[in-house]
Chains A and B, each alone.
Chain A
Amino acid sequence: MSLCAGLDRPKSRKYNIFWKSVFVLVVLAVIIFVYLASKSVDYIWRWYRIPQYFFYEEQVDVRAEIQGEVVDIEKGEEETLIRIKGGDQSEEYSFPGENVLIYAGDFVYAGDILGKYKEWQAGILLQGLWLTLKVSIIGIVLGIVLGVLTGLARISENPALRWGAITYIEVIRGSPLLVQIFLWYFVAGTLINAFLAEFSLPRVPALWFGIIALAIFAGAYVAEIVRAGIQSIPRGQMEASRSLGLTYAQSMRKVILPQATKRILPPMAGQFISLIKDSSLLGVISIRELTKATREVVTSSLQPFELWIVCALLYLILTFTLSMFVQYLERRAV
């Protein structure tokens, strides 16, 4: 959709078909090139090894915790129940499946294996994906709150608020996120945890310093987006609202911000897509998000091609979903 479609002669059907085919051909050419290139290098593709890093079946041993006699074994439809009685204690063990390694009447000691079953576990990549998702969502929410407040402070008449906002924005935008993450974790984190230890309070885990670093980083950019959005609303809106007797805060809430939201959404989406991708830096403070998880699996499995491609696709799923969601919001906002 061109911005001014009416300015030029309408394009013919042939024109569209031709250039659409050009697009498809270029994409195909890239795919074929990548395929041929991967054939020519000495690399064995083992895609079948990838799913285990999402889900894997774990063998679980059921062990006795007391010593005593096996009173009875009840095999149900899905569960097996084992009763053990020793002295004045008695215990019950139940687990799925029928793989029982003992018989009724046996005498067992604490630690003996009674039975085995298999259980599906989330693999390291899925755990990493979940952590990335969690960090991003909390980061986005905190970033929005921080950004809107800072954006409002930035256009405030109060010098303390305004200069505070400018200082925050310039300092945070002017230094690399990686350095900020190190500062938060190694400097602020050490100080805060030492301080908490003084009062024998629990430590704040690395995850939270990572989230704070991300949220504060995003907040600085969001603040400028919010400020630009608010300032793009015509002056007359505020004047009309104030002339009706609304206070500044009421006018902001009911008149200016609802209108600014629609203009703020597109650049905001870009900012939060950046935040999701920037969360890959959190690996440096040993938060095992998606990128760090992938790196660990690559080290142990030696399948870098498949794993990094999968990693990129997972990020793409997250960012594309967010992008679609924001477009939906944009359409809904009047």
Chain B
Amino acid sequence: MPESIISIQDLNKYFYIPQEIHALKDIECEIAPGEVVVVIGPSGSGKSTFLRCLNRLEFATSGKVVVDGKEILGAGREINRIRAEVGMVFQQFNLFPHMTVLENLTMAQMTVRKRSRKEAREKGHALLKKVGIPTKHNSYPEHLSGGQQQRVAIARSLAMDPKVMLFDEPTSALDPEMIGEVLDVMKDLAKEGMTMVVVTHEMGFAREVADRVIFMDEGMILEEGTPEHFFKNPVHERTKAFLSQIL
């Protein structure tokens, strides 16, 4: 077992507004480099909160989150450097609407990675080609389809050369016929050996690509294992109930 790239110990998260909710309960998890982890579970089970704790978009209430060898809950300004190593793809894409597609890809490279404009643009073009939209670099995000926007968002994260990619329901806001093109990009990424943590409802993707599936409910990790274990003979009652509902 190689050294973990993400290590979570005893993670707890409370929300106090609008009322007190214990969103994550004593989460323990190790993610190895190159591993593809798919997190599934009913809505409100804490999957997204869990994912957002990994790059501190949510500040965990207690516990330890170690990313790439650095503890992030205690980190000060250093967090910005750690976040650059952790790409994140959102359900709502969150592209920057006032920038062209290429500017979306180059801005952070130049600001955070201090690359030259030329270098950043070359990288941007290469990534657009990789995600299959090489000709749209001068368009604004609003003129792209949902699937294209999400692929640009993936390219934007990849432009930072992250060590880990987090996906927060990347296909949930897409029309059905566009889901495939986004999943294809993600599959390619997995094949290249990228470490990925994916929150999704796409069971086909989980079955095909995941090294490990985590089932969460009510803020706890109820069951984890390989896709075969999961989809053939789940142990926990809640898991069985959940899978029977969506499969």
A-side interface residues toward B, CB under 8 Å? 234, 236-237, 239-247, 250, 254-255, 258-259, 262, 334
Contacts and interface: CB of A to CB of B under 8 A. Distances in A.
Given A246-B108, A246-B112, A259-B98, A240 B90 contact: yes
Contact of B112 (A234, A240, A245, A334): A245
B111 A254 contact: yes
B83 A245 contact: yes
B156 interface: yes
Contacts of A240: 88, 90, 94-96, 153
A258 B96 CA distance: 10
Contacts of A239: 57, 88, 90, 94
A244 B81 contact: no
A259 B111 contact: no
Interface of B: 55, 57, 77, 80-81, 83-88, 90, 92, 94-98, 107-108, 111-112, 140, 153, 156-157, 160
B98 A243 contact: no
A237 B108 contact: no
Contacts of B86: 243
B156 A237 contact: no
B92 A243 contact: no
A71 to B, nearest CB: 70
A247 B75 CA distance: 13
For the complex of A and B, 8 pairs with smallest distance between CB atoms:
A245-B84, A240-B94, A236-B94, A244-B108, A243-B88, A245-B112, A245-B83, A245-B80
B156 A244 contact: yes
A140 B40 CA distance: 54
Contacts of A250: 111-112
A239 B112 CA distance: 15
A255 B111 CA distance: 12
Contact of A244 (B84, B92, B97, B98): B84
Contacts of B156: 244
B210 to A, nearest CB: 23
A241 B157 CA distance: 10
B81 to A, nearest CB: 7
Contacts of A234: 92, 94
A244 B92 CA distance: 16
A245 B81 contact: yes
A244 B83 contact: yes
A155 B186 CA distance: 37
19 contacts: A234-B92, A236-B90, A239-B90, A240-B88, A240-B94, A240-B95, A243-B55, A243-B83, A244-B83, A244-B108, A244-B112, A245-B80, A245-B81, A245-B160, A250-B111, A254-B107, A254-B111, A258-B98, A334-B98
Given A237-B94, A259-B97, 13 more contacts: A237-B96, A240-B94, A241-B108, A243-B83, A243-B86, A244-B84, A244-B87, A244-B156, A244-B160, A245-B81, A250-B111, A334-B98, A334-B140
Nearest to A254: B107
Contacts of A254: 107, 111
A250 B111 CA distance: 8
A242 B90 contact: no
A244 B90 CA distance: 12
A245 B115 CA distance: 14
B94 to A, nearest CB: 4
Given A237-B96, A259-B97, A245 B108 contact: yes
